[in-house]
Chain A
Amino acid sequence: AQSVAQPEDQVNVAEGNPLTVKCTYSVSGNPYLFWYVQYPNRGLQFLLKYITGDNLVKGSYGFEAEFNKSQTSFHLKKPSALVSDSALYFCAVRSQTGANNLFFGTGTRLTVIP
């Protein structure tokens, strides 16, 4: 079975500090992994994805994520947080083989404090 866990409902960080939003996954075979961001009353926007190759993936707005196969994790990071980064972040996974459905985590609300 495929699943995604985002263990933190809420993450608070001071502006200018580094941020991390955690994600672990379970999937049959190798995964495709994604991060999306949602601003209030809006749809989700794609940030970045991991397919294969380099474990460090760089995406939009200065975000990056590190794929760790042994820990089945795909944590989202940014070196210096902005107030405008405050939003709801979703991790998602799809198996590279088997079921084609994309499974989303429950989301982590990031608040960047000025």
Chain B
Amino acid sequence: DGGITQSPKYLFRKEGQNVTLSCEQNLNHDAMYWYRQDPGQGLRLIYYSQIVNDFQKGDIAEGYSVSREKKESFPLTVTSAQKNPTAFYLCASSGQTSGANVLTFGAGSRLTVL
């Protein structure tokens, strides 16, 4: 089945630790995105990538980093600089990089900082 796989589904982290969330897609999509979801705030864009080896900051990039070394993969690292990292993280991809492109989402990763 084609789709997006995010792992782990649940992750607990101690304060001061970096953690990396995995996102893999087999849809042959060029564009990939990371969103953060908090209750009552909808989805906010962290980073996006329209092509391999290139990515741009979204609205809330501070405290996060990404890489796009392969078309299929777009991992997100939540660093210790992120002041409030507890959230639900969603990865998405799209076959188009502009226009009315529809996003396909993964099932999400829930990060809890203890």
A-B contact count (CB 8 A): 55
The proximity string for B residues 37-76 relative to A, scoring 1 for CB distances below 8 Å and 0 otherwise, is 0001111110010000000001100000000000000000
Residues on A with beta carbons closer than 8 Å to the beta carbon of B110: 41
Residues on B with beta carbons closer than 8 Å to the beta carbon of A34: 100, 102
Asked if residues B108 and A41 are in contact (CB atoms below 8 Å), the reply is yes
B44 to chain A, nearest CB (A): 8
Alpha-carbon distance between A94 and B59 when the two chains are bound, in angstroms: 15
- Count of chain B residues near A, Cβ 8 A: 26
A32 to chain B, nearest CB (A): 4
- Count of chain A residues near B, Cβ 8 A: 23
With A9-B40, A101-B58 as contacts: A94 and B108 at CB distance below 8 Å: no
Q: A100 in the interface, Cβ–Cβ < 8 Å?
A: yes
A26 to chain B, nearest CB (A): 15
Alpha-carbon distance between A105 and B37 when the two chains are bound, in angstroms: 11
Q: Tell me which residues from 5 to 49 in chain A have a Cβ below 8 Å from any Cβ of chain B.
A: 9, 32, 34, 36, 41-46, 49
Asked if residues A46 and B43 are in contact (CB atoms below 8 Å), the reply is no
Alpha-carbon distance between A105 and B40 when the two chains are bound, in angstroms: 9
Q: Tell me which residues from 28 to 84 in chain A have a Cβ below 8 Å from any Cβ of chain B.
A: 32, 34, 36, 41-46, 49, 51
Residues on A with beta carbons closer than 8 Å to the beta carbon of B84: none
Q: In the complex, which residue of chain B has the Cβ closest to the Cβ of A94?
A: B100
Q: B98 in the interface, Cβ–Cβ < 8 Å?
A: yes
With A49-B100, A101-B58 as contacts: A90 and B43 at CB distance below 8 Å: yes
Alpha-carbon distance between A112 and B48 when the two chains are bound, in angstroms: 35
Residues on B with beta carbons closer than 8 Å to the beta carbon of A113: none
B95 to chain A, nearest CB (A): 12
Q: In the complex, which residue of chain B has the Cβ closest to the Cβ of A100?
A: B98
Residues on A with beta carbons closer than 8 Å to the beta carbon of B108: 41-43
Asked if residues B99 and A45 are in contact (CB atoms below 8 Å), the reply is no
Q: B106 in the interface, Cβ–Cβ < 8 Å?
A: yes
Residues on A with beta carbons closer than 8 Å to the beta carbon of B97: 100
Alpha-carbon distance between A94 and B48 when the two chains are bound, in angstroms: 15
